[in-house]
Amino acid sequence: MTDFTLSDEAEAIRAEVRRFATRELRPRARQGGDPAVLAELRASFRELGLGSVDWPEEAGGLGLGLLERVLVAEELAAGDAGLALALDDGGLAARALLELGSPAQRERLAALEDSGAVFALALDEADLAWERGALYTMASPDGEGWRLQGGKHFVLQAPRATAFVVLARTGFAPGWGEVDAFLVEAGAEGLQVLEDPPRIGLDALGSGRLLCAGCPAARLAGGAPRPAAIARLRRYRRILFAALMVGVARAATGYACGYAQERPAFGKMIGQFQGIAFPLAELATAVDATRWLVWRAAEAFDRGDADELPSLEALLTAQETVHRAGIDSVQVLGGAGFMEDYPVEKWMRDGAALAGLAGSRLVTEQLAADALFGPA
């Protein structure tokens, strides 16, 4: 039966992250480009273990599920989504190592603590339909190891990453039967990392493109059965992105509600006009509904459910909601919303950046339709 009861532990984590996001992230949202600020925040982020709540305890995490990770992500993003991503040195690649890596490869996560390692996950390719068969980066065996040929796009943290987990094809069979994950070191011969040009939002987060011209790579050698484990990784990514979008949408909605209670016009506060109040009511409803879709997907993930739909529905809805929250909250603030003196224009940009980086709506809808009705 549907139940929304969080464990005491999850409630406590949520409260703690909310404090951190409110006190540390939101006031510095506009200073995300300052290396000193980033370094200081990264230290606190690591100390609080915010990137590892869902890692197993033996890997240094709290052993909790994606649901708890989702709670953390929403809170961090309500502080600042760019910082939430930029402070996480393990990121999605850590999840890939945990799910797919051999014990020795998983050991490398320990290095995050002390060696200044940064991992990045490289999934996307130039063709937006990489999840529907257009994944072209090839891996070929070479002695003990492998070599990669191809290109990867939208790799978060790429400019500062020390290693990459790269998804590549080992054969031409359609579908996911011959796709695997490989570890590539940042300085590897034949690997070029090109920093992305500036993006609409997520100012604190660097990203880039990988050009692999025969660069050496190690297959992630854990025993998890392949197509299923890679599908899990893709679901995990969708759900986490969606949770970040809920955080941004919630922040924008809450700020606009606060503003509407204090801004006078025509002898009233603007929130007393239905033209302002009703869109805010609809927005708050959409944010709640989106959050429950994200929770539902996370809960299904934690149960080991292999259904693709919950994560796809959560992502599509989060993309829609975050765009709407950005646009409508700027509208509520009017001219002030347009200015950098107020946070809402940044949330509008950050939301658009998150929604775009999480994937094309066309592809996601087609994936959902494939899951529902079989291939077209």
Partner 1 sequence: MVAFQLSPGLAAFQGMVENLARTVVRPLALEADRTHVYPQDFYERLASLGYSGGEVPEEYGGGRKAGAEDGRPSRSNRLMVIGSEWLAYGDPSVILNIPGPGLGGPPLQIAGTPEQKERFFAPFRPGQPVAWGAYALTEPHCGSDAKAIRTRCVKDGDGYILNGRKTYCSNGARAVWTVVFATLDPEGGRAAQRAFVVEKGTPGFAVGKIEEKLGLRACETAELVFEDCRVPASHLLGGEEYYARRNSGSFKTAMKTFDRSRPMVAAMAVGIAQAAYDELVAFCREGHLGGLPILRDTSLRALLVHMRRKIEAARLLCHRAAWMADHQQPNSKEASMAKACAPAVGQWVTREALRVMGGHGTERARFVEKLYRDVKVFDIFEGTGQIQRLIIARKLMPALRIS
Q: Which residues bind partner 1 (CB under 8 A)?
A: 1-7, 67, 257, 260-262, 269, 271-272, 274, 277-278, 280-282, 284-285, 288-290, 292-293, 295-296, 299-300, 303, 309, 312-313, 316-317, 362, 365-366, 368-369, 372-373, 376
Amino acid occupying residue 76 = L
In the complex, minimum distance from the CB of residue 32 to partner 1, in angstroms, rounded to a whole number? 29
Closer of 91 and 271 to partner 1 (Cβ): 271
Alpha carbon distance, N-terminus to C-terminus of the chain = 34
Q: How many residues make up the chain in this entry?
A: 376
CB of 47 to partner 1, least distance (A): 27
The least distance separating partner 1 from the CB of residue 72, rounded to whole angstroms, comes to: 15
The CB-of-365 to partner 1 minimum distance in angstroms stands at: 4
Nearest alpha carbon to residue 202 among 321, 36, 335, 348: 348
What does the block give as tokens for 209? 């493109």
* Residue 292 Cα distances to 27, 361, 365, angstroms: 28, 20, 19
Helices (H), 154-308: 226-260, 274-302
| Residue 98, CA atoms < 13 Å, CB-side half-sphere | 22
Judged by DSSP in three states, 176 sits in coil
Q: Which is nearer to partner 1, 241 or 295 (CB)?
A: 295
Instruction: Give the DSSP letter string of 252-273.
Output: HHHHHHHHHTT-EETTEEGGGS
Alpha carbon distance 20, 108 (integer Å): 27
CA distances from 139 to 75, 217, 218, 253, 272 (A): 38, 8, 10, 45, 61
> Toward partner 1, which CB reaches closer, 131 or 180?
131
**Judged by CB, which is closer to partner 1: 200, or 362?**
362
The least CB distance from residue 78 to partner 1, in Å, is 16
Residue bearing tokens 């949408």? 249
Shortest distance, position 101 Cβ to partner 1, whole Å: 28
> Minimal distance in Å, beta carbon 18 to partner 1?
18
